Structure 1
């Protein structure tokens, strides 16, 4: 055996051992609570990537990442849970056939009482965009308003949180190949800010950054790193930069974040097994991957927030 072959085998074995050691604890630990009955929502056939809820109980849900069918945005009413979902019609100059929604966020214009939905759209090769829709409650239609695009910074988006009528933070969760970046533990992800004209990278060297959200007062931005298995709290500066206040390990492949606007508590979804999660992501998505919903109580002081209590549901 040549020396080069020995080196290649050694490197491969080292990487394999590293990945196995990293994922092993996630395959052996867990705490299962059943706070209430769990039922499937009728009308969604290929799963979903994200959900956002208005204070009145209306929820906007993106369809799953199925490349064989055009994506949709569904409407669900928590006050009428047995009614299932309604697929919202999209009105305007918009390519519905290539629509591939991912993360979404809601912006309410309190002055004009208008509801806007911002949605990440993978939309085909080299067409990564953020789409802005106006929701009309009477007709239950989505009216396409605007497309945001920046080839320098908006590359492979996962989630976003809207801060103004044309501004938002976003996570770019990988650069080239997500499986390779996870395998080699490459920190190539980042958080960006779109100011209405172009995107700016404001936090670099993140390990598959995923979910984003804000505190109810908008002073803090919350971030999860999927492969980093962390929940981070950032203070928002006047120039829209972010200052890290706390990073907390959660021992879970953390995903989306939701915030209770009344209490400030956060709900963080996660995945318990990396290998099963990656297997599930392969079409036709028929395998089973265990998931988690974690509820955290956040306490606050004038300058910092921190996690006080953790429960696993």
Structure 2
């Protein structure tokens, strides 16, 4: 009996060792650990006033850009300030664009404001501009809806919470109170979430929200992150970070989404922005996820910006538009093109204003 017990203990230890070894290799592979960093610099300068990241940026057709800044205490990402987050506006048509902090009015607890993904919706009926902001107060997930009042004020209209919106990363607005949102994880606790990654359980999803109904419209995603919409409003794009691809869905009547295809990008890509004119898809990406999560100042996480041209076609073209090893910019999360210029935001570092010409 004692011999059998020893055999069982040895077998259990061997099985656990094999599992953890497999898990380590799997996570390193998904994180693209030790991947060679491609370098491609542009003529850039840092945006003033942005010291602790601009995790998401979006721009209107008239060149007005909105920035969410100061994301902290979110999942396992580094953060260097516990101060409340802020929203900024930036006029890209100005000769020297400078971020201006937006004043927030209304019934919102600004002391716990922790902004993440953002989206803008313009109501064609009266040209009202609505800003949607993912907010993580006390590590919760909710969506704040604001009306932008020219030229530096946000009026808080509504806070949206729902059990299906349990780990929201990004949103794309399709109406004054209507949006699609990505959930980037199934579990909030690290241990079971890591298990879903190791076992390749695609339990993340896209949720559609309206005041009348809330429902899942796309599932089977390993890690849903950025989301955006094509200029003709026909297609929805979702960045699946751990699968290193962008998923394309067709938007049908009744706000249904039908999977079309996936485009491999070879990086861990975060937020998605779409060029209003060309329809090109731009992504802020991470070259090596292990450097991002561990954060060693001596070996900082790099930044990559890619563009996908003709994403709906049979032969989409993926190109590197900016690459840095982390000594200029750490942890790029979004890239916004506008008339030959490029804004690049990060999770926790600075933001760049670059020329594409």
Q: TM-score, normalised by structure 2?
A: 0.79
Structure 2 match to 1:13: 21
- Quote the Cα distance in structure 1 between the aligned partners of 2:40 and 2:254: 42
Q: Decide whether aligned partners of structure 1 residues 154 and 23 sit closer, same or farther in structure 2, where only a CA change above 3 A counts.
A: closer
Does 1:175 pair with 2:186?
yes
Structure 2 match to 1:111: 125
Q: Which moved more, 1:77-86 or 1:141-150?
A: 77-86
Q: Deviations over 1:221-246 (max 9, x none)?
A: 11110111111111111121111111
Residue aligned with 1:294, SS: strand
Does 1:289 pair with 2:301?
yes
Residues 31 and 242, structure 2, Cα contact 8 Å, conserved in 1:
no
Structure 2 match to 1:43: 49
5+ residue gaps, structure 2, are 1-5, 74-81, 322-357
Does 1:162 pair with 2:173?
yes
Residue aligned with 1:38, SS: strand
Deviation at 1:287, TM superposition (A): 6.8
- Quote the Cα distance in structure 2 between the aligned partners of 1:41 and 1:251: 28
Residues 279 and 287, structure 1, Cα contact 8 Å, conserved in 2:
no
Q: Decide whether aligned partners of structure 1 residues 7 and 310 sit closer, same or farther in structure 2, where only a CA change above 3 A counts.
A: closer
Q: Which moved more, 1:186-195 or 1:220-229?
A: 186-195
Q: Which has the higher contact order (CA 8 A, sep 6+)?
A: 2
Deviation at 1:286, TM superposition (A): 9.4
Q: Decide whether aligned partners of structure 1 residues 137 and 193 sit closer, same or farther in structure 2, where only a CA change above 3 A counts.
A: same
Summarize the alignment of residues 1-313 of structure 1 with structure 2, pairs less than 5 Å apart: 2-3=9-10, 4-24=12-32, 27-34=34-41, 36-67=42-73, 68-80=82-94, 82-125=96-139, 127-138=140-151, 140-150=152-162, 152-176=163-187, 177=189, 180=194, 181-280=196-295, 288-298=300-310, 305-313=313-321
Q: Decide whether aligned partners of structure 1 residues 299 and 73 sit closer, same or farther in structure 2, where only a CA change above 3 A counts.
A: closer
Q: Decide whether aligned partners of structure 1 residues 148 and 23 sit closer, same or farther in structure 2, where only a CA change above 3 A counts.
A: closer
- Quote the Cα distance in structure 1 between the aligned partners of 2:95 and 2:13: 60
Q: Decide whether aligned partners of structure 1 residues 307 and 200 sit closer, same or farther in structure 2, where only a CA change above 3 A counts.
A: farther
Residue aligned with 1:171, SS: strand
Residue aligned with 1:17, SS: helix
Deviation at 1:190, TM superposition (A): 0.7
Residues 148 and 154, structure 2, Cα contact 8 Å, conserved in 1:
yes
- Give the alignment's Cα RMSD to 1 decimal: 2.2
Residue aligned with 2:232, SS: coil
Structure 1 match to 2:355: none
Residues 190 and 201, structure 1, Cα contact 8 Å, conserved in 2:
yes
Q: Tell me the number of residue pairs that the alignment of Structure 1 and Structure 2 aligns.
A: 301
Deviation at 1:149, TM superposition (A): 1.1
5+ residue gaps, structure 1, are none
Q: Deviations over 1:7-27 (max 9, x none)?
A: 211211122233334445x63
